[in-house]
Amino acid sequence: MKKVSIVGSGNVGVNSAFFIAETAAANVLLVDIQEGISTGKALDLMEAAPIRRYRTRIEGSDAIADIAGSEVVVLAAGLIRAPGKERSEHFQANAALARELATAIAKQAPEAKVIVATEPVDAIVKVVVETTGFDRHRVIGVGGILDSMRMASFIADALGVSPRDIHALVIGSHTGRMVPLPFYARVNGVEISQLLDAQTVGRIVDDTRRAGDVIVDLAKHANAYYAPSAAITTLVEAICLDLKVVRSVSVLLAGEYGLSDVALSVPCKLGAAGVEQIIELALNEEDRQALAASAGPVRALFAPAEDRKGTR
């Protein structure tokens, strides 16, 4: 069975390990620099196996070298944002950590695909690509897939239908400038414009953009982790099981949609190689401009320090 290593044994990392174990897509290694935490949490997860009936192995380690042989490495380490703050607030600290971990990944697991969950996701995708030297298609950010899940949930609530019947699409940066695309939202194939009025659709778009902020503000001392972990698991399954599914994920663009040298979420076909195809939608002018504008907060993080003042 394939091996997935998760770097960071906090809420996102541990819940991802649990969800991945239940899919039987891969064995899981939890890695964290805090001595004993990964091993302890791995033991706890394995003690749930008899009742949850998963056969996959979950192990823990304090040593990053143990990621060797991984099919996928998930970056789930780093500082999280506080209520009222932006995802970008810890960019410098998390970017430094990402560079350190990416260097280790390139050395210990040079064939791995990397899933980035460390915030700010889009910027960290670029950092990991540049540090590892990996092909950009092997570094995937958990941005648009999470935002699309949230939009689908809000549509299901508005209609009183099963979330499993909803397909939604959000592209752009994982910021307040993300671009939900109601035109592509479907309820078992039916456009939501035939089921919901424009005012309700507009509210869903606003709720989607604010979803992460609402959770942080309510939880106070924790960020979202169940939905991000579910999104990570979906990407792990797509890669380890070579599913050839289309999901909105953050990838470093190189001319697609007229944008380069910035990572944004766009629809991609995912399989064993990671991002196997970047799909360019025929966006209208308004959505194309919104996508370009959503790159602004991501690009600003790489500007000289004096130019970053006031960008948050």
Catalytic residues: 174
C-alpha 275, offset from chain centre: 13
* Rounded Cα–Cα distance for residues 171 and 100 (Å): 29
* Rounded Cα–Cα distance for residues 132 and 68 (Å): 15
* Rounded Cα–Cα distance for residues 84 and 98 (Å): 24
One-letter amino acid for residue 142 of the chain: V
The C-alpha angle with vertex 82 and arms to 8 and 126, in degrees rounded to 5, equals 55
Q: At what angle do helices 37-46 and 11-23 cross, to 10 degrees?
A: 30
Full DSSP string of 92-154: HHHHHHHHHHHHHHHHH-TT-EEEE-SSSHHHHHHHHHHHH---GGGEEESSHHHHHHHHHHH
CA distances from 229 to 143, 194, 208, 216 (A): 12, 32, 18, 16
The three state secondary structure string of 8-29 is CCCHHHHHHHHHHHHHCCCEEE
* Rounded Cα–Cα distance for residues 128 and 239 (Å): 18
